[in-house]
């Protein structure tokens, strides 16, 4: 017997988001934040993600305004940059990932750090007013925080800090929320990853579900 299943893509989305809103603990989020969290839960398949998501006041609104104003999106890895749905971006925003730049390996060796951290060093010309999306590398987030302690470093509009893993991920996100150089959001603890980060950007870029 053939399997029967829902074949209407729009209906699949409708049912999915309805299930998330019915089952997830979303009451503490404002409408802009809720849209982000719902999409992140959808990407992860985890309604239990909601308690781990933290926003600084006004972060979602600041990131939305920056994207509407044409801000670039700076990504730590191509899994993030390639996952962003371009037609959702409100101002044909540039999406940049410098990790594959041919200069990064030598710069990482010179700096005595990871390629992910060295790639962040190359964001300086585009950092002012940008939306930063870090979904993989704790070293990228730590290096960004160190850069932003420099008085002459340009300031992004907002930071999505969702590196994932067991070494430095939790610590880098806690450091972001403690330093709070600009409005920020994180998934606390070891959870995170590129799919959640992409979902957050896509939600901030467009209200359409």
Output the 3-class SS for the chain.
CCCCCCCCHHHHHHHHHHHHHHHCCCCCCCHHHHHHHHHHHHHHCCHHHHHHEEECCCHHHHHHHHHHCCCCEEECCHHHHCCCCHHHCCCCCCEECCCCCCCHHHHHHHHCCCHHHHHHHCCHHHCCCCEEEECCCHHHHHHHHHHCCCCCCCCCCEEEECCCCCCCHHHHHHHHHHHCCCCEEEECCCCCCHHHHHHHHHHHHCCCC
* Residues labelled as active-site residues: 42
């Amino acid at each position: 017997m053939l399997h029967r299943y829902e074949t209407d893509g729009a209906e699949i989305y409708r049912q999915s988001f309805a299930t998330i809103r019915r089952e997830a603990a979303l009451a503490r989020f404002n409408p802009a934040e809720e849209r982000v969290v719902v999409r992140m839960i959808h990407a992860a398949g985890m309604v239990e993600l909601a308690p781990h998501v933290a926003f600084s006041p006004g972060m979602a609104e600041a990131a939305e305004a920056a994207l509407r104003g044409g801000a670039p999106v700076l990504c730590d890895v191509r899994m993030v940059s390639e996952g962003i749905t371009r037609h959702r971006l409100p101002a044909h925003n540039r999406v940049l990932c410098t990790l594959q730049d041919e200069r990064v390996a030598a710069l990482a060796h010179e700096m005595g750090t990871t390629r992910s951290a060295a790639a962040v060093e190359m964001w300086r010309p585009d950092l002012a007013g940008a939306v930063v999306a870090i979904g993989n590398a704790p070293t990228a987030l730590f290096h960004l925080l160190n850069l932003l302690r420099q008085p002459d470093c340009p300031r992004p509009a907002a930071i999505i800090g969702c590196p994932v893993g067991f070494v430095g991920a939790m610590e880098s996100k806690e450091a972001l929320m403690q330093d709070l150089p600009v409005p920020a959001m994180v998934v606390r603890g070891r959870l995170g990853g590129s799919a959640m980060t992409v979902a957050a950007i896509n939600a901030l870029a467009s209200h359409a579900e």
